[in-house]
Structure 1
Amino acid sequence: MSLRIVVTVKYVPDATGDRHFADDLTVDRDDVDGLLSELDEYAVEQALQISENSDDDVEVTVLTVGPEDAKDALRKALSMGADKAIHVEDDDLHGTDAIGTSLVLAKAVEKAGYDLIVSGMASTDGTMGVVPALLAERLGVPQVTLLSEVSVEGGTVKGRRDGDSATEQLEASLPAVVSVTDQSGEARYPSFKGIMAAKKKPVESWDLSDLEIDEDEVGLENAYTVVESAAERPARSAGTIVKDEGEGGKQLAEFLAGQKFI
């Protein structure tokens, strides 16, 4: 028996960099370094653990939608241990929102073939966390989201979801979509051997025509959600210095009360 796992990953701006919007109010990805979304690394890790713990023949494919530089995210996932990668790239995808992205991902995983789709809980740039659910709806398969533990037994995916007041044990029949949280297990660091091996692993490149998607179904002009305005964060002002000359405690209390901290 074989198991085909597709991990959806995203190439995002480095959160430690100076991020800002471009003129069209989309995220400017040219002036800041990009990388594999940290939350997606957990998804890759869980897919690899399923593969390592399975008696079946498991193939792990990583899939991303993004510009040319998004291949860096795929290379990171391949160096972690994924078997192959798919890159969907098309100029008409610029500005596509979560709903449009879910369409592209759905078409891509259908074309690739899948039994299980694993996603991170959210991207670190948009932080919407809705794509796994949208993807499951488009594919017409079950979704088991926000898992801190996941496994596959036979034709069933099982997992644990930890809430604020309760823990749930969930399962769904394959094919299915799952998303995992940052509590699912530390992602492995690529070894030198893994980095070298990744250079020989196949990376397929598809565009909208390969997926039979019309340009008026994606892109900024066809997005359901857009940014209408944005302003830069104001510069940090100087703090208030309280000099203790016998009344420091009183002044500090008055300051905190004035800020409604107490």
Structure 2
Amino acid sequence: MKILVGVKRVVDYAVKIRVNSAKTAVETANVKHSINPFDEIAVEEAVRLREKLPKGSVSEIVALSCGPAKCSEVLRTALAMGADRAIHVEVPQNTTLEPLIVAKLFSAVAKKENPSLIIMGKQAIDDDACQTGQMLAGLLDYPQANFVAKLDVADNKVTASCEIDGGLETVECEMPAIITTDLRLNEPRYATLPNIMKAKKKPLDKLTPADLKVDIISKLKVLKVEEPAKRKAGIMVGSVEELIKKLRDEAKVL
């Protein structure tokens, strides 16, 4: 069983986001970037499956990223965590890759690699689109399980507990399949120094959208990016009656 794992380079989750002066995007110059946290969970789950399943069940873990040259950094992180090989679909700096384009690039790579399981983060913390995994499943016509909090693989089937508004939903599907990971699926391991050194020697193949015959011209246009309005300070109320009165007369929600 080959596992393909999606990895995206995003602004680090600890960085305070600022809108650029042109109000067209967030500021990324001289800002720390790292692997998308949900994708880190995806890599960890792929490695855990290899450790948990009978020896030889997982033949290879391949990490895939689409983006500018610096995406190789997050691919090396995935390799240090336990992936065997990496593929980088490189695009020019400042190219906007919307979810459908990424899904098409992943689809083209998946048709070449023929994985049994594709694991992706449920969303990237930069755009929060939460679309790529579902679009990829549609393009490949693969079954999917999204927002996965628990995963079991046996007898060429995937059984997943998926987080929904009402609690958990159990989804079972035949492989090849696509899953997108939620926060509660696992806690990613830290890459050790020896594994970081080994990752430098693992293969990292580079492709271009032209190699995959995928058009990356954006079909979406960003009109304006603004910071959210500052939240007003809360107030203390002395009783339930006063709270209800304020909700009814001031907030107008009752």
User: Is contact 2:119-2:181 (8 Å) kept?
Assistant: yes
Change (3 A) 1:57 1:186: closer
2:224 aligns to what? 229
2:192 aligns to what? 191
1:6 aligns with 2:37: no
Q: Where do 5+ consecutive residues of structure 1 fail to align? A: 243-248
2:46 aligns to what? 47
User: Is contact 1:148-1:159 (8 Å) kept?
Assistant: yes
Change (3 A) 1:134 1:235: closer
Change (3 A) 1:71 1:22: farther
Change (3 A) 1:96 1:27: farther
1:107 aligns with 2:108: yes
- Please give the per-residue CA displacement for 1:183-239, whole angstroms capped at 9, x wherever unaligned: 0011111112211111111101100121122xxx323xx32x3321123457899x7
Identity of aligned residues (%): 27
User: Is contact 1:92-1:218 (8 Å) kept?
Assistant: no
What SS does the aligned partner of 1:227 have? coil
User: Is contact 2:23-2:224 (8 Å) kept?
Assistant: no
Change (3 A) 1:140 1:92: farther
What SS does the aligned partner of 1:68 have? coil
User: Is contact 1:87-1:206 (8 Å) kept?
Assistant: yes
What SS does the aligned partner of 1:148 have? strand
Change (3 A) 1:95 1:27: farther
Q: Where do 5+ consecutive residues of structure 2 fail to align? A: none
Question: 1:152 is matched by which residue type in structure 2?
Answer: V
What SS does the aligned partner of 2:87 have? strand
Question: 1:30 is matched by which residue type in structure 2?
Answer: A
C-alpha RMSD of the superposition: 2.9
User: Is contact 1:147-1:184 (8 Å) kept?
Assistant: yes
1:121 aligns to what? 122
Matches within 5 A, 1:1-262: 3-17=1-15, 18-21=17-20, 23=22, 25-55=24-54, 56-91=57-92, 94-213=95-214, 217-219=215-217, 222-223=218-219, 225-232=220-227, 260=251
Distance in structure 2 (CA, Å) of the matches to 1:30 and 1:78: 26
- Deviation of 1:180 after TM superposition, in Å, equals 1.3
User: Is contact 1:26-1:95 (8 Å) kept?
Assistant: no
What SS does the aligned partner of 1:209 have? helix
Q: Max radius of gyration: which structure?
A: 1
- Deviation of 1:51 after TM superposition, in Å, equals 1.0
What SS does the aligned partner of 1:183 have? helix
Question: 2:124 is matched by which residue type in structure 1?
Answer: S
Q: TM-score, normalised by structure 2?
A: 0.85
Question: 1:151 is matched by which residue type in structure 2?
Answer: D
What SS does the aligned partner of 1:61 have? strand
Question: 2:48 is matched by which residue type in structure 1?
Answer: Q
Question: 1:38 is matched by which residue type in structure 2?
Answer: P
Question: 1:144 is matched by which residue type in structure 2?
Answer: A
Distance in structure 2 (CA, Å) of the matches to 1:66 and 1:22: 23
What SS does the aligned partner of 1:91 have? coil
Q: TM-score, normalised by structure 1?
A: 0.82
Distance in structure 2 (CA, Å) of the matches to 1:11 and 1:190: 17
Question: 1:186 is matched by which residue type in structure 2?
Answer: E
- Deviation of 1:151 after TM superposition, in Å, equals 2.0
- Deviation of 1:96 after TM superposition, in Å, equals 2.3
